[in-house]
Amino acid sequence: MNPASQLQEGLGALGLHLSGAVQSKLLGYLALLKKWNRVYNLTAIRDESEMVTQHLLDSLSVLPVVPGSALAGRRWADVGSGAGLPGIPLALARPDLDMTLIEAVEKKSAFQRQAKIELGLENIAVVSRRVEEVPGGMFDAVVSRAFADLATFVDLAGHLLTQNGRLYAMKGLASEDELSRLPTGWAVLDRARLNVPGLEAQRHLIVLERV
């Protein structure tokens, strides 16, 4: 199956209805990532079919489980963003989302800035700093994909949130031990199963909030 058909089929399985223009930009992002990957080694995944599954569809799998009220017009940050995952696919799918990509490694931030230009992503900002150095209280939501264990995620990124903001951790499966080590004042609001078309491994979205 070619990447365009694979993406379209995967979006259908997720119940996401994205325009042809958005789907073209998602594939354009992958093409740019493949080009940069030859020199900068931004991701270990090289196979185009696996990139559709593990980069695009995995990133977009959070949309069916996150309420629309947490997306439209909200300020999100993607910490430890790497090649812009999940932030860039989310920003492409939801142009009403204000997404900031936070990444400490300059070559990865440089790729993000190039993607912003080539894809015309006006709803993305790129911040090339360590997450703990970014000023706090600026975001309604902070998302991470395989960034750190939950306690470390809270310690490093919790300050970024507004008063009622939430942390969204994309993980394989958070163990009870990991959940029990959350810092005082934080609790699990939700543990949602993510269904990623074409991916057999378990994926979950852990939602954390202050208590």
Indicate whether 10 pLDDT > 90. yes
Report pLDDT for 89.
98
Indicate whether 179 pLDDT > 90. no
Measured between alpha carbons, how far is 81 from 90 in angstroms, rounded to an integer? 12
pLDDT band at 188 (very low <50, low <70, confident <90, very high): very high
Indicate whether 146 pLDDT > 90. no
How many percent of the chain have pLDDT more than 90?
84
Average pLDDT over residues 140-155: 92
Average pLDDT over residues 37-41: 85
Report pLDDT for 19.
97
- More confident site: 50 or 180: 50
Measured between alpha carbons, how far is 53 from 85 in angstroms, rounded to an integer? 12
Contact 185, 210 (CB under 8 A): yes
Cis link prior to 3 (omega < 30° from 0)? no
Q: Strand pairing partners for 79?
A: 102
Domains annotated for the chain, with CATH where assigned, are 3-210 (3.40.50.150)
User: Which residues neighbour 36 within 8 Å (Cβ) at sequence distance 6 or greater?
Assistant: 42, 111, 114
pLDDT band at 180 (very low <50, low <70, confident <90, very high): confident
Indicate whether 174 pLDDT > 80. no
Report pLDDT for 194.
95
pLDDT, tens only, 84-106: 999 999 999 999 999 999 999 99
Report pLDDT for 76.
98
Report pLDDT for 55.
95
